[in-house]
Amino acid sequence: MIRVENLFYQYPKNQEDTLKSIRFEVKKGEIFGFLGPSGAGKSTLQNILTGTLTGYRGKVSVMDHSLKHLGEDYYEKIGVDFEFPNFYGKFTALENLTYFSSLYRRKTLDPCPFLEQMNLLEDAKKPVNRFSKGMKTRLGFIRCLLHDPDLLFLDEPTSGLDPSNARILKDMVKELQQAGKTIILTTHNMHDAEELCDRVAFIVDGEIRALDTPAAFRHPSEKNLVTYTFFNQEKMEENCQIPLDELHSDLKFLRLMTEKKITRIHSSEQTLEDVFLSLTGRTLQ
């Protein structure tokens, strides 16, 4: 679906390249994550892939066509959820969606089921300048789905959303993948990346430092320890640590389990954040 080779990008007024030697491929039907700290170049990369930024060096092809020769119909096939979505503030949410739908040649979808799914149906007739940040974020997500595109670019789609709306949006992303869409998800939220992405590229200072599946990044090491908490004779809580692969034969643990005295069990496998920190020396936020 996407092939990028040796991509470099320099903003006209900057001295240095913002993107350096970027190389990756995205398969059809994949959810592919760009994960990295603020300023790493994630949105710059997304803007190149969506044709918003031109003047890059290297090869970028999407749907088997070089981005340098993509026609107007490119925007019929891709959906872009911007980091900072812009709307016509004096118009209602529904009027905005109807207007943006009218820009497409292909038949567009009814926005109302999406508005309902994203808990915005009651606000559909309110002017967008009365919307909160989270409401605009949800509206931006709906807007990018209206023409039923095959390839979606989502830049921080859960930013500013409360947990319940973030959950709804993430479930919709999974449904879109099941419907055959390819999705590029840009985020510095490692939980979203871990839950949604088939593969993740770690981007730091404009470079891809590592690229793999979340599971492969987190692969359990010998040091993977389990901590369990139980009540001792004095009815005080006590902790015990043991390697995960020895847990099944640990007699004390097995006895406490049978006696139903264990109150908590925590495994300490690496999170994507830990992996990111060890690979780059940087945190994601």
Interacting residues toward Mg ion by CB under 5 A = 42-43, 83
Please pick, from the candidates 33, 35, 44, 192, the single residue that binds ligand ATP as defined by CB under 6 A: 44
Residue span binding ligand ATP (CB under 6 A) among the ranges 33-41, 88-96, 192-200, 231-239: 33-41
CB of 34 to Mg ion, least distance (A): 9
Please identify the residue of the shown chain whose CB is closest to the bound Mg ion: 43
**How far is Cα 262 from Cα 265, in angstroms, rounded to an integer?**
8
Estimate the crossing angle of helix 133-143 against helix 163-178, to 10 degrees. 10
Number of residues that bind ligand ATP (CB under 6 A): 14
**How far is Cα 52 from Cα 192, in angstroms, rounded to an integer?**
25
Site for ligand ATP in 169-198 (CB under 6 A): 188
CB of 224 to ligand ATP, least distance (A): 30
The answer to the question of residue 285 lying near ligand ATP (CB under 6 A) is: no
Largest CA distance in the chain: 75
The answer to the question of residue 98 lying near ligand ATP (CB under 6 A) is: no
The C-alpha R_g of the chain, in whole angstroms, comes to: 23
Reading phi first (left if > 0) and then psi (alpha if -120 to 50, else beta), residue 71 is in beta
The answer to the question of residue 14 lying near ligand ATP (CB under 6 A) is: yes
Instruction: Name which of 120 and 183 has its Cβ closer to ligand ATP.
Output: 183
Please pick, from the candidates 3, 17, 18, 109, the single residue that binds ligand ATP as defined by CB under 6 A: 18
Instruction: Name which of 30 and 81 has its Cβ closer to Mg ion.
Output: 81
* Closest C-alpha among 140, 165, 167, 145 to residue 155: 140
Extended beta strands in 213-274, E state: 225-231, 237-243, 262-267
CB of 184 to ligand ATP, least distance (A): 13
CB of 51 to Mg ion, least distance (A): 17
Task: Give the binding site for ligand ATP (CB under 6 A).
Answer: 11, 13-14, 18, 36, 38-44, 83, 188
